[in-house]
Amino acid sequence: MKTKILIIFGTRPEAIKMAPLAKEFLKNTDLFDTKICVTAQHREMLDQVLQFFDITPDFDLDLMKPGQNLYGLTASIITNLQPVLENFSPDYVFVHGDTTTTMAGGIAAFYSGAKVCHIEAGLRTHNKRSPFPEEINRQVTSRIADYHFAPTTTSKENLLVENIAEDSIIVTGNTVIDALLESVEKVNQEPSPYIQEFSKTLGDKEMILVTGHRRENHGDGFIRICEALKAIALDNSDRLIVYPVHLNPNVQEPVKRILTEVPNVLLLAPLAYEDFIWMMNRSKLIITDSGGVQEEAPSLGKPVLVMRDTTERPEAVDAGTVILVGTDTDLIVSEALDLLNNPDRFDTMSRLHNPYGDGKACKRIVDFIGSLETVEKIS
């Protein structure tokens, strides 16, 4: 009898990191009956990734609603997963990272009696309010999970300190590197019509790519971020800052108010995943508050300024591939300009080793589950 695998995700970042894992399981049809469930905590941005990776969910809960809050979303995920779990009755349920889908999906899977597998386990800031609610989502999921697929040895150590059994922790590297390496090759071979047209606009200009959406930066934090970006742009009119702006109104309002009139700041709608990969690869420098970008950009040799006061990814800080600048306007400006105007420092940072893996994380995860099932059958 085949082992039943259910992979649950709901946001674009989760989809990017779970897509190569889903495909690896789906390749092994002799061992696994694999189903994919999306909560659609994000809708449009999620669908773009599914299309790019050619993945069709078996279950689509379609839970995104205007103005949804954490109370309603958490309850909806748990309630709507019940029939999926009862009807499919998976042996293993995979959740990823730190979203509300991760935490609520883990709880629902635990209720169903399935073994819970946590991808990208063990990341910690040890500050339950930063990032909010992601830090607690991770910690709750760790208490529920049966198997913890940690991207680095640092993540494993975090779990051991929390008395997680060592034989349940597997260091794999991060699946985002698997997705990135596959995607860069595909994007380079077949750039989208959007990118073909954008390339003409960009020419040979120096480009800085910006992303920002974190809840803890809403309000004054985003105002300071936008003032910093304005100063960086005005420092050199030949430089182009490209900012795909998150759809959240708390992001849209300050960004458009402060940056719309700056001639060398280009505000874009959120990009399709393949277009964003191209933008990362083309950029000189990346300024972000994203967790995934901290992992991806070093594989492309791109220095990263992280607009957060804390990070659950200290490996990148320790390796020197990212620099924490928070939302301090002066610090963002000074670090960005120093990297852009100091070739020796820039070159050193761009050549540093990425601590997040070699692109083989998914195979390690699938092989591990396969080995568990082999032992189970033998015993």
What residues act catalytically? 98, 120, 134, 213, 215, 246
- SS3 helix, strand, coil % of the chain, rounded to 5? 55, 15, 30
Element (H, E) at 129: none
Tracing tokens 């993540």 back to the chain, one arrives at 155
Nearest to 3 by CA among 348, 308, 376, 378: 376
CB 21 within 8 A of CB 119: yes
Compute the distance between CA of residue 250 and CA of residue 267 in angstroms, rounded to an integer. Answer: 15
Count of alpha carbons within 13 angstroms of residue 330, beta-carbon side: 0
CB 263 within 8 A of CB 298: no
Output the CA torsion sign for 56, 57, 58, 64: negative
What is the rounded (10 degree) CA torsion for 283, 344, 340, 320? 70
CB 345 within 8 A of CB 339: yes
Compute the distance between CA of residue 155 and CA of residue 38 in angstroms, rounded to an integer. Answer: 26
Compute the distance between CA of residue 124 and CA of residue 146 in angstroms, rounded to an integer. Answer: 18
Compute the distance between CA of residue 172 and CA of residue 364 in angstroms, rounded to an integer. Answer: 6
Can you name the residues that pair with 75 across neighbouring β-strands? none
Nearest to 56 by CA among 89, 93, 23, 92: 23
Compute the distance between CA of residue 276 and CA of residue 89 in angstroms, rounded to an integer. Answer: 37
